[in-house]
Structure 1
């Protein structure tokens, strides 16, 4: 009798372990099927905002998501995640939220991820930091509605939004005094209409990666938000620094700045039922799972 009970117990334990192992596989498989299809698409989201999805196969499987914003369109207005005063004893600046939460919370029409940030940790699908609502710190300048709550830092270039939707890219990291909104990235990909070579610390290890890039044309009237999905074999495997610069040159970008990439790469749009993701983010190895991040850049636009 005792031997039979032990055998039954071992079977139950084995079944329990098998179920635990199958849960992440099931979640991963389900999330794969919810990704945007590998088909091209172009549509107007709102007056002055056009979305284009490109399913490419060269130099490897790629999904590129491109927003073109006509800055001269009445009602188009940028907005950046606000800070939180005295958030924590360590002086961290804001709370982590996803891009869809950002779009919904501030009633925006579109939003993307922006600054690199810390602290950050990603060990397993359940062991990561930050979770939604946890305190975080931006790298480089962040200005929201004229309030600069994350100061400029060496090595973090900025894109500055001035009155009348004027846009300036500052390699120094310091925006003009009249700046209303600002976010920061690490490296310029385009300057004066020409690709910028990778910095020495990047060139030897320039590998395909998920990327978020902000760019502007020579007239200063068209702003592009370009997101490249990555880390997803045979679906979208990312672009190298050099390949991203070449893409921007073909697009006609005058200046372009690399924002936070990897699992942070997210594009969200407002819909009648709330904000929805347009790309395929991958957080803690799970496709279509959004990463909570420190700063987002969004835009108000006339509603259809």
Structure 2
């Protein structure tokens, strides 16, 4: 579908939150780097409650400079995965193909080759099957709408980041009455972790530390925030709980936030025009454990429209 749309304008956790919000006078965006017009980046290192390397990007949607797109369906869409392991006990029948898995780097490069001036890419949704052997395909995501085309209509109880066809952005929650035909982009995440400026109870009680990807929106929906926290890397970055991820989203200006796919999927990438390599000017802002880039079920990208 060839179409583009322009965006409009408990103890350790408590200590972490106190550290996050202890200094009210200084904006966390002081000293940030403008990557592209209206897109700012902050890198920071924290040592409490553990070592964490954090990347935060904020996009000002009011600039009207950017369009958004996500991964597209594979040619085998809605057919049984041909490489599914029949011995897998998690799936009685082969899952249906939605996308072919792709690294965020290759997603960005592919869109550049196709003519989109994509400047930023980030991993998006969890997918299945998982734990059934390696498959090059992905399915079972939640409500996934790609450029106006519904590729998976079962929300599976998961919230989504959405771009409506009028260009506005929001989060869609399970049970929402927003009709699918009004949605241009929908990429589901795992859970709501920041709700109206408050860290959710589920996130606050989480004690598991992993690499994380979070999406956030400001109260007036002018800004979108992407946060990655590296993890599983001793002496570099040990990861974050979902409560800590929510607190970071709030610290940097988000009013609502989602925990997206994380772990080895966590990737935040930008395009560097001045790198001098026409084939691969992609820079990965975060650092994956082992240096490997995972092929994800889907990715989200922002590109220049003017």
Question: What is the total number of aligned residue pairs between the two structures?
Answer: 249
Report the alpha carbon displacement of residue 138 of structure 1 after superposing the two structures with TM: 4.0
> 2: distance between equivalents of 1:49 and 1:65?
13
Equivalent residues in 2 for 1:11-26, closer than 5 Å? none
1:80 alignment partner, one of 52, 66, 70: 70
Task: Establish whether residue 153 from structure 1 lines up as the match of residue 155 from structure 2.
Answer: yes
What residue in structure 2 maps to residue 290 of structure 1?
293
* Residue in 2 that maps onto 1:186: 190
The structure with more radius of gyration = 1
State the shift of 1:76 in Å.
1.1
Q: CA deviation at 1:155?
A: 1.9
User: In the aligned structure 2, how far is the partner of 1:249 from the partner of 1:266?
Assistant: 20
1:136 is aligned to 138
Alignment root-mean-square deviation, CA: 2.2
Partner of residue 44, structure 1: 34
Query: CA separation in 2, counterparts of 1:81 and 1:48?
Result: 24
Report the counterpart of residue 207 of structure 1 in structure 2: 208
Is 1:114 the counterpart of 2:130? The answer is no
Partner of 2:63, secondary structure, is coil
Structure 1 unaligned spans of 5+: 1-39, 123-127
TM-score relative to the length of structure 2 = 0.75
Given that 2:67 and 2:305 are in contact with CA atoms closer than 8 Å, whether structure 1 keeps it comes out as: no
Segments of structure 2 that go 5 or more residues without pairing to the other structure are 1-29, 82-95, 113-117
Q: Which residue of 273, 283, 288 corresponds with 1:276? A: 283
Equivalent position SS for 2:33: strand
Aligned partners of 2:271 and 2:282 also within 8 Å: yes
Conserved 8 A contact 1:98-1:292: yes
1:88-99 aligned at under 5 Å gives the runs 88-90=79-81, 91-99=96-104
- Aligned residue number for residue 60 of structure 1: 50
SS in 2 for 1:78: strand
CA deviation after TM superposition for structure 1 residue 252, in Å = 2.9
**Cα drift, residue 96 of structure 1:** 0.8
User: Per the alignment, in what secondary structure is the counterpart of residue 180 of structure 1?
Assistant: strand
Tell me, in whole angstroms, the C-alpha distance in 1 between the residues paired with 2:215 and 2:128.
21
Shift of 1:163: 3.4
Residues 225-236 of structure 1: matches in 2 within 5 Å?
225-236=226-237
